[in-house]
Amino acid sequence: MAESVETWTFAAERLFEFATRVFQHDGVPEADARQAADVLIASDLRGIDSHGVARLHLYHQMLDLGRFNPRPRISIVRETPATATVDGDNGMGLVVGPRANEIAMDKAEAAGAGWVAVRNTNHFGIAGYYPRQALKRDMIGWAMTNASKLMAPVWSSERMLGTNPIAIAFPAKHEPPIVIDMATSAVAYGKIEIALRKGVPIPKGWALDADGADTTDAERVANGGSLLPLGGDRDHGGHKGYCLASMVDILCGVLGGAGWGPFAPSFAVQQEPPVRAVGLGIGHFFGALRIDGFIDPDEFKTQVDDWIRVFRSAEPAPGTAGPVVPGDPEHFYFEMRSEEGIPLVQAVVDDLRELSRKTGVPLD
Amino acid sequence: MAESVETWTFAAERLFEFATRVFQHDGVPEADARQAADVLIASDLRGIDSHGVARLHLYHQMLDLGRFNPRPRISIVRETPATATVDGDNGMGLVVGPRANEIAMDKAEAAGAGWVAVRNTNHFGIAGYYPRQALKRDMIGWAMTNASKLMAPVWSSERMLGTNPIAIAFPAKHEPPIVIDMATSAVAYGKIEIALRKGVPIPKGWALDADGADTTDAERVANGGSLLPLGGDRDHGGHKGYCLASMVDILCGVLGGAGWGPFAPSFAVQQEPPVRAVGLGIGHFFGALRIDGFIDPDEFKTQVDDWIRVFRSAEPAPGTAGPVVPGDPEHFYFEMRSEEGIPLVQAVVDDLRELSRKTGVPLD
């Protein structure tokens, strides 16, 4: 974030339009294309540059190669009033995810709670996008997804789990909502890539080398090493991060019949396919809880405002400006970038220009 | 665990009987007394010595002083088919928790999912007890509770959150179930107490002193310091542990109308009461999901067996015996202690003898 690199700024609407038309070029129907673009741009607007238009060329590549289904028939394969399993028909996660999340919210509308496991789907963008939708309906939203292997369990040197994020959001009244969106690894893989690019060491407790030794050398992580779970080593609670990543893997992978653990397929074309097919695609898990199923929503939101203000005013640690509330950094970026546009680094602009050439969709 | 201390071994049945009769002596009806004792002994059987009969004298003290209601009228104050808020009428968490958890499971039986927020309750024992009940009904169970302040948010030096545990359990077919039960702090406070007793330093990344500086001195933690969230400092993902503890606090405290954050009341008599009353007692949050609301339960359990075996056979890290599966340590203790009895240290035996003298309930 503090890197001084040259950027080019685009209005969010411009990038949304571009992404929509690229998806349409690749055979995605207009409504789905707009939905997929909305998830991508939501990420850029909130400062999570790794999950936004920077990935558009990957989605294009997978669609172009016929690896993703541009017109999935998304179906409910099993359900009760408050639960369902959805088959994404190998559609983009950016399309399957929002549809499955809507099913969870519709079930919550009717029964109080709605929980949906999804199989046969693909990368769904930022997890935090989904619970934010629930806020509009006075619900608490949850989203999780599994992903291809990058993380080693405690006491292992082998990549066995994805960075398996958990997101949950709570509405407030006058304050911005509380939105949690976190990988269950100690850090995202993107932080290893940044260290690689800069040639700087990484802190101990982030990752292992191929032999399973804690390393500060990003190069050794990239060459067959693995990320550590949240907490790091056993002494610092790494078994808890491993527990959380396992929970996400079972809810997303096993429960809906998707791939799990080391057998979750990768998003990228150049990665090897899993050695065993234990299920279909990767898996997501969505939840929605109607707040008025527990408490008057206005009372809840007033208390959440109170909670936020109490936590913001906690005693600051030395040398800090004091605690922030989950969702604050994303909110800060959203306010700024909605006004000023989205800054993209050269490599991303190059990718988009290349996409523009290939598809004939104008970028500027 | 590797401490060599003298212990006295009691059969689980003996301790169960003793705890039941102590609770009855304190005015708790027999069925509730047995339920409460069952939660305590389940903890001792699984090697979590801090949450078992070692705490019986605290419950006795609170009942004896009239601080807990021995005959609570537990009521549903709001509900939908898949959700409810339960008021525990200031009963013991060991009685209120199991009842509320049952309501969640009954709702799941009918609707597919059941989620219950609980207010006006107290310490409920080990969180892992609750999801284990769901396993008997082919459900996935969840439990969380908030607790009195011990943990500082990232960038704060102030105790603002409890160690707020999360538990979840998944049934397997031939393997033992996967049971996750974890505090959202880097370590439990008990580990600070052990270091204090032994006069040894604690690792960096566990806790802060009263000024908010990372410390290896357990004494400085005890004197107004605070635990760090899972992850430790910001660089190692401490903001994620803070997010998880906040999530638990809002679901348990705010959603059901219980105390939250620094205003969650303490379990112990000698602690100061919170400076503000923002709700009633502490709060719990229970969830149950019917597996057949997503997938055939036999198919699910077969896949969980497969998952467990795949993870057990992952490449071991150097100098380790390889990864374990969440719930393995507790399962190991359960097998051993069900056979051989529960070893108690001198201080706990002394407490029980003192309780025996006060209540007239024989220990031996």
* CATH number of the domain residue A208 falls in: 3.30.60.50
Element (H, E) at B103: helix B93-111
Cβ proximity of B279 and B261 under 8 Å: no
* Nearest neighbour of A326 by CB, restricted to B111, B243, B323: B243
Count, residues in chain A:
364
Between B167 and A4, whose confidence is greater? B167
pLDDT tens column, A81-107: 999 999 999 999 999 999 999 999 999
User: Both B82 and B163 in a single domain?
Assistant: yes
Q: Coil, strand or helix: which one is B209?
A: coil
In a domain, A317, yes or no: no
Tell me whether A297 touches chain B (CB under 8 Å). Answer: no
User: Both A66 and A124 in a single domain?
Assistant: no
Cβ proximity of B309 and B175 under 8 Å: yes
Rounded distance between C-alpha atoms, residue A297 and residue B24, angstroms: 40
User: Both B158 and B22 in a single domain?
Assistant: no
pLDDT tens column, A291-308: 999 999 999 999 999 999
Percentages (nearest 5) of helix, strand, coil residues in chain B: 45, 20, 40
| pLDDT at residue A272, as a whole number | 78
**Among residues of chain A, what percentage have pLDDT more than 70?**
99
Residue A1 pLDDT > 70: no
In a domain, B213, yes or no: no
User: Both A216 and A177 in a single domain?
Assistant: no
On chain A, the residues whose CB falls within 8 A of the CB of B247 are 168, 180
Rounded distance between C-alpha atoms, residue B336 and residue B358, angstroms: 32
User: Both B169 and B181 in a single domain?
Assistant: yes
Tell me whether A203 touches chain B (CB under 8 Å). Answer: yes
In a domain, B211, yes or no: no
If contacts are CB pairs under 8 Å, which of residues 238-267 in chain B contact chain A?
239-244, 246-247, 249-251, 254-257, 260-262
In a domain, A324, yes or no: no
* Nearest neighbour of A290 by CB, restricted to B80, B256, B306: B80
* Nearest neighbour of A307 by CB, restricted to B78, B211, B250: B250
Determine whether the interchain pair A112/B255 forms a contact, defined as Cβ–Cβ distance below 8 Å: no
pLDDT tens column, B281-323: 999 999 999 999 999 999 999 999 999 999 999 999 999 999 9
In a domain, B47, yes or no: yes
User: Both A20 and A33 in a single domain?
Assistant: yes
User: Both B88 and B64 in a single domain?
Assistant: no
Q: Chain B: residue nearest A79 by CA?
A: B293
| pLDDT at residue B1, as a whole number | 45
Cβ proximity of A72 and A102 under 8 Å: no
Rounded distance between C-alpha atoms, residue B38 and residue B36, angstroms: 5
Determine whether the interchain pair A187/B237 forms a contact, defined as Cβ–Cβ distance below 8 Å: yes
Cβ proximity of B228 and B186 under 8 Å: yes
In a domain, B38, yes or no: yes
User: Both B58 and B84 in a single domain?
Assistant: no
Please give, rounded to a whole number of angstroms, the shortest distance from the CA of B68 to a CA of chain A: 24
User: Both B335 and B273 in a single domain?
Assistant: no
The rounded radius of gyration (Å) of the Cα atoms in chain B is: 20
Could you count the other beta carbons within 10 Å of the beta carbon of residue A262?
19
| pLDDT at residue A127, as a whole number | 98
Could you tell me the CATH number of the domain that includes residue B53? Answer: 1.10.1530.10
Which amino acid is located at B300 in the chain? F
Structure tokens at A135: 């806020």
Tell me whether B199 touches chain A (CB under 8 Å). Answer: no
Residue A120 pLDDT > 80: yes
User: Torsions phi, psi of B122, nearest 5?
Assistant: -140, -175
* Nearest neighbour of B295 by CB, restricted to A170, A257, A320: A257
Could you tell me the CATH number of the domain that includes residue B87? Answer: 3.30.1370.60
Cα atoms found within 13 Å of the Cα of residue B320, Cβ hemisphere only: 21
How much is the average pLDDT of A64-80?
Answer: 97
How much is the average pLDDT of A188-217?
Answer: 94
In a domain, A308, yes or no: yes
Could you count the other beta carbons within 10 Å of the beta carbon of residue B197?
10
Instruction: State how far the alpha carbon of B121 is from the alpha carbons of B96, B168, B187, B279, B281, in Å.
Output: 7, 21, 24, 11, 5
Rounded distance between C-alpha atoms, residue A127 and residue A140, angstroms: 14
Instruction: State how far the alpha carbon of B325 is from the alpha carbons of A135, A155, A244, B302, in Å.
Output: 35, 11, 12, 16
Provide ipTM, 2 decimals. Answer: 0.97
Cβ proximity of B306 and B300 under 8 Å: no
Q: What is the DSSP letter of A296?
A: -
Tell me whether B182 touches chain A (CB under 8 Å). Answer: yes
Determine whether the interchain pair B295/A85 forms a contact, defined as Cβ–Cβ distance below 8 Å: yes
Structural domain of A57: 1-71+340-364
* Nearest neighbour of B318 by CB, restricted to A114, A211, A261: A211
Residue A33 pLDDT > 60: yes
Rounded distance between C-alpha atoms, residue B329 and residue B319, angstroms: 19
The residue out of A170, A205, A226 marking a domain boundary is A226
For chain B, how many structural domains are there in total?
Answer: 2
User: Both A26 and A172 in a single domain?
Assistant: no
- Kindly give the residue spans of alpha helices, DSSP state H, lying in A46-176: 56-64, 93-111, 129-135
What's the angle, vertex CA B161, arms to CA B128 and CA A315, rounded to 5? 165
User: Both B234 and B360 in a single domain?
Assistant: no
| pLDDT at residue A137, as a whole number | 98
| pLDDT at residue A3, as a whole number | 55
Cβ neighbourhood burial of A336 (10 Å; 0-12, 13-18, 19+): middle
User: Both A77 and A59 in a single domain?
Assistant: no
Q: What is the DSSP letter of B11?
A: -
Residue A199 pLDDT > 70: yes
Q: Chain A: residue nearest B252 by CA?
A: A294
Rounded distance between C-alpha atoms, residue B207 and residue A350, angstroms: 46
Q: Point out the residues of chain B with pLDDT beneath 50.
A: 1
**pLDDT-derived band at A269, boundaries 50, 70, 90:** confident
Please give, rounded to a whole number of angstroms, the shortest distance from the CA of B316 to a CA of chain A: 4
